[in-house]
């Protein structure tokens, strides 16, 4: 009789044990060390959020093989892809786990895996992880894409891309514009560093842009502050000379082009001057020049001359890109030869 009772007791215990092992074993809901924040499937070029799909698979609570079929998505057909799971570890730090196509995924290392109580809907990291939006040292002021000859403002478009990913590969299709067809182009990001000075970062076509060095990258909280406005960088107040007036033509016939020069200055720090630069020809058939009259650090007027075909560089002029010059308060002598040149001529003839 005792043996019969013992046998019945053992059979009952064995029938209960498997359920107990499932509840308390290594795959228990809270057994894993890592809490999943987000899941992405694809590659660096193209990838999609599959957090909700991963939750569906987790509720089945069994290992599965990674493929575009199991993920219900194929963001880059014909290319190698992977599942990247971003999770927070026991030390509070974020970690990325990568599972390539064909590998077997087992959720045993993740906390609350089977219940699907994970996934941060406010997660805004990129394909390469790194969510600390304030980790970078530099605050973006502006982004320009193109060449020295022709370039366009792409700050808003860059902000959209930054919200999608921490890194991306650059080419003319990235911004949906080709400002200088057939020529090598680059993205120039102008940013303010920790010392308060402006710095330029250049990325040529086909290079990878990594936003980790820029503060607030993923949130797009940048590009609203003042920028010097120059393709070649350089703060708008770096120059020594304040422009008073700009005249184009010859000694016989010339005209004021100060306002037109301001427009050109806002577009670029440098430009090559030709007969069509200012939209006028004050002395047809004759070689003409641009003369910029400016006040130097000593307070005296100085004239800078640029013949047709030469390059005008605004780096030496204060507030060049902002156009804060040539106003009524800044008086010009009104002489084509310039104030100081006439003084030198008088000295030589004494």
Q: 8-12, 191-195, 265-269: lowest mean pLDDT where?
A: 8-12
| Better pLDDT: 125 or 24 | 125
Q: 14-18, 151-155, 222-226: lowest mean pLDDT where?
A: 14-18
Q: 170-184, 244-258, 331-345: lowest mean pLDDT where?
A: 331-345
- Counted residue by residue, the chain has a size of 350
pLDDT of residue 4: 55
Residue 274 has pLDDT above 60, yes or no: yes
pLDDT of residue 130: 57
pLDDT of residue 162: 83
Residue 243 in 3-state DSSP? strand
The whole-angstrom separation of Cα 144 and Cα 102 is 41
pLDDT of residue 7: 54
* Assigned token pair, 146: 């193109």
Q: How far apart are the first and last CA of the chain?
A: 141
Residue 142 has pLDDT above 80, yes or no: yes
Which stretches does DSSP call E strand in the chain?
A: 35-42, 47-49, 64-65, 82-88, 94-100, 104-105, 139-146, 151-153, 167-169, 186-192, 198-204, 208-210, 242-249, 254-256, 270-272, 289-295, 301-307, 311-313
Residues 59-105: tens digit of each pLDDT: 887 889 999 999 999 989 999 999 999 988 887 777 888 899 999 99
- Beta bridge partners of residue 313, listed in sequence order: 270
Q: How far is residue 60 CA from its own chain's centroid? A: 41
The whole-angstrom separation of Cα 10 and Cα 95 is 45
Q: What is the mean pLDDT of residues 47-59?
A: 90
DSSP 277-336: TTS--SSTTS--EEEEEEE-TTS-EEEEEEETTPEEEGGGBTTTTTT--S-TTS-----T
Q: What is the mean pLDDT of residues 1-7?
A: 54
pLDDT of residue 238: 57
pLDDT of residue 83: 94
Burial 78-87 (b: 16+ CB within 10 A, else e): eeebbbbbbb
Residues 16-50: tens digit of each pLDDT: 444 333 333 334 445 678 899 999 999 988 888 89
Q: What is the mean pLDDT of residues 267-272?
A: 74
Average pLDDT, the chain: 79
Give the dihedral of Cα atoms 89, 91, 94, 99; nearest 10 deg: -30
| Better pLDDT: 221 or 130 | 221
The whole-angstrom separation of Cα 165 and Cα 5 is 65
Q: 60-69, 111-120, 229-238: lowest mean pLDDT where?
A: 229-238
Residues 286-312: tens digit of each pLDDT: 999 999 999 887 888 889 999 888 888
The whole-angstrom separation of Cα 149 and Cα 140 is 23
Q: How far is residue 277 CA from its own chain's centroid? A: 32
pLDDT of residue 340: 54
* Of 153, 155, 152, residue with least CA distance to 179: 152
pLDDT of residue 217: 81
| Better pLDDT: 326 or 52 | 52
pLDDT of residue 244: 93
pLDDT of residue 133: 45
Q: How confident is the model at residue 349 (pLDDT cuts 50, 70, 90)?
A: low
Q: What is the mean pLDDT of residues 333-346?
A: 66
The whole-angstrom separation of Cα 237 and Cα 229 is 11
Residue 145 has pLDDT above 70, yes or no: yes
pLDDT of residue 15: 46
């Amino acid at each position: 009789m005792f043996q019969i009772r013992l046998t019945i007791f053992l059979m009952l215990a064995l029938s209960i044990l498997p359920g107990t092992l499932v509840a308390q074993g290594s795959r228990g809901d809270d057994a894993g060390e890592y809490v999943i924040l987000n899941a992405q499937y694809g590659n660096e070029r193209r990838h999609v959020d599959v957090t909700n799909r991963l939750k569906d698979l987790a509720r089945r609570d069994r290992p599965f093989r990674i493929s575009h079929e199991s993920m219900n998505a194929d963001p880059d057909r014909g290319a190698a892809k992977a599942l990247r799971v971003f999770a927070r570890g026991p030390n509070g730090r974020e970690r990325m786990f990568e599972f390539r196509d064909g590998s077997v995924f087992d959720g045993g290392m993740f906390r609350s895996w089977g219940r699907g109580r994970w996934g941060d809907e406010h997660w805004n990291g990129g394909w390469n992880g790194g969510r600390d939006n304030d980790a970078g040292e530099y605050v973006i002021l502006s982004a320009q894409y193109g060449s020295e000859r022709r370039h366009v403002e792409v700050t808003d478009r860059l902000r959209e891309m930054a919200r999608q990913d921490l890194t991306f590969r650059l080419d003319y299709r990235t911004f949906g514009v080709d400002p200088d067809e057939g020529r090598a182009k680059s993205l120039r990001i102008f940013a303010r560093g920790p010392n308060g000075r402006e710095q330029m970062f250049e990325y040529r076509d086909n290079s990878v842009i990594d936003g980790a060095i820029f503060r607030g990258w993923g949130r797009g909280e940048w590009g609203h502050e003042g920028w010097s406005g120059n393709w070649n960088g350089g703060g708008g107040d770096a120059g020594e000379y304040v422009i008073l007036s700009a005249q184009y033509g010859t000694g016989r016939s010339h005209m004021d082009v100060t306002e037109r020069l301001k427009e050109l200055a806002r577009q670029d720090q440098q430009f090559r001057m030709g007969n069509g630069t200012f939209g006028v020809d004050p002395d047809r058939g004759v070689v003409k020049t641009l003369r910029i009259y400016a006040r130097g650090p000593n307070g005296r007027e100085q004239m800078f001359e640029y013949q047709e075909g030469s390059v005008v560089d605004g780096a030496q002029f204060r507030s060049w890109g902002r156009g804060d010059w040539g106003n009524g308060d800044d008086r010009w002598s009104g002489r084509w030869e310039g104030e100081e040149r006439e003084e030198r001529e008088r000295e030589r003839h004494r």
